[in-house]
Amino acid sequence: CKMIWVLLLLLLLPLLLFIAAPQIRKMLSNGVCTSTAQLPGKVAVVTGANTGIGKETAKELAQRGARVYIACRDVQKGELVAKEIQTMTGNQQVFVRKLDLADTKSIRAFAEGFLADEKHLHILINNAGVMMCPYSKTADGFEMHMGINHLGHFLLTHLLLEKLKESAPSRVVNLSSLAHVLGRIHFHNLQGEKFYSAGLAYCHSKLANILFTKELARRLEGSGVSVYSVHPGTVHSELVRHSFFMRCMWRLFSFFIKTPQQGAQTSLHCALEGLEILSGNHFSDCRVTWVSAQARNMTIARRLWDVSCDLLGIPMD
């Protein structure tokens, strides 16, 4: 008789989980952007905004009246999303520009076009990213994760920095991840040539994002440009497209995984709330959060900054 109860419980448990899933998801995704800021006259660029968190972020910024640039590799896909956002928000000022972060030529072309078209830039969201792709290189010979997640956005931010300063108060939001905890900056193996793990390469690049946020914040002190890095949470997005294992895990635990809209909340919080005194910090669930010792090490941050400038042919100061 006891067995029957145990069996019944075992059968009921998944059912209960299924029914309670929305509540569980809500609980796990506490941290909602509560800003009521409106953005008429403000200009925002969101990289990788054709899907997932980036798309939700772009939509919300458009909803609040900003001129929004969707910067992505696949312009056709971007145009569809722009149309969708225009229809949903009634804001026609949503534009698509080609940006391939795996190619510094494309990054420079994007920046040139943008700087020619726009007088201001108030919000830059470095959102695009790749995760766990097999070993491959960008057009410039950088390892793909480092190249896109870190160096590509580094160059982009550098090229747009004067515009951000002129438009101050303005801000940069970098998407990083809790995965940075496993990351290390191996200066002798930055491009993964000596050893490579697809999973760890992602972590390294996400650590680089945080280090850069800290170093840039230091350099921009008093400029009116504030910078934040963000852990969006475990979010259902196309990031996992390169890994069959991760796709399966995502499916299995989909109850506990945030929707892209929930994942966009911390980016929006950092883009909209008055957090200037917290510039350089790392945020998760709309709160300042802990980062690993590596990510707090300003010696590594400075060295990585210099190495990155060197790799990208940016004059060092």
Ligand X SMILES: *[C@@H]1O[C@H](CO)[C@@H](O)[C@H](O)[C@H]1NC(C)=O
Secondary structure (H, E, C), the chain = CHHHHHHHHHHHHHHHHHHHHHHHHHHHCCCCCCCCCCCCCCEEEEECCCCHHHHHHHHHHHHCCCEEEEEECCHHHHHHHHHHHHHHHCCCCEEEEECCCCCHHHHHHHHHHHHHHCCCCCEEEECCCCCCCCCCECCCCCEHHHHHHHHHHHHHHHHHHHHHHHCCCEEEEEECCHHHHHCCCCHHHCCCCCCCCHHHHHHHHHHHHHHHHHHHHHHCCCCCEEEEEEECCCECCHHHHHCHHHHHHHHHCHHHCECHHHHCHHHHHHHHCCCHHHCCCEEECCEECCCCHHHHCHHHHHHHHHHHHHHHCCCCC
Q: How many residues bind ligand X (CB under 6 A)?
A: 17
For ligand X, which is the closer residue by CB, 82 or 154?
154
Considering only residues 226-285, where is the footprint of ligand X by CB under 6 A? 227
Where does this chain touch ligand X (CB under 6 A) — which range of 58-66, 191-199, 208-216, 232-240?
208-216
For ligand X, which is the closer residue by CB, 23 or 299?
299
202 catalytic, yes or no? Answer: yes
Does residue number 157 form part of the binding site for ligand X (CB under 6 A)?
Answer: yes
Does residue number 297 form part of the binding site for ligand X (CB under 6 A)?
Answer: yes
Does residue number 316 form part of the binding site for ligand X (CB under 6 A)?
Answer: no
One residue of 69, 114, 154, 202 binding ligand X per CB under 6 A: 154
Query: What is the rounded distance in angstroms from the CA atom of residue 309 to the CA atom of residue 202?
Result: 21
Does residue number 300 form part of the binding site for ligand X (CB under 6 A)?
Answer: yes
Query: What is the rounded distance in angstroms from the CA atom of residue 308 to the CA atom of residue 208?
Result: 10
Does residue number 213 form part of the binding site for ligand X (CB under 6 A)?
Answer: yes
One residue of 73, 122, 153, 204 binding ligand X per CB under 6 A: 153
Considering only residues 92-131, where is the footprint of ligand X by CB under 6 A? 126
Does residue number 172 form part of the binding site for ligand X (CB under 6 A)?
Answer: yes
For ligand X, which is the closer residue by CB, 25 or 158?
158
Does residue number 57 form part of the binding site for ligand X (CB under 6 A)?
Answer: no
Where does this chain touch ligand X (CB under 6 A) — which range of 67-75, 148-156, 248-256, 257-265?
148-156
Structure tokens at 233: 């949470």
Does residue number 209 form part of the binding site for ligand X (CB under 6 A)?
Answer: yes
For ligand X, which is the closer residue by CB, 85 or 148?
148
- Give the position of tokens 């994002």: 209
To ligand X, the closest distance from the beta carbon of 10 in angstroms equals 46
One residue of 69, 110, 202, 212 binding ligand X per CB under 6 A: 212
Binding site for ligand X (CB under 6 A): 126, 149-150, 153-154, 157, 172, 174, 209, 212-213, 216, 227, 293, 297, 299-300
* Catalytic residue numbers, as ranges: 202
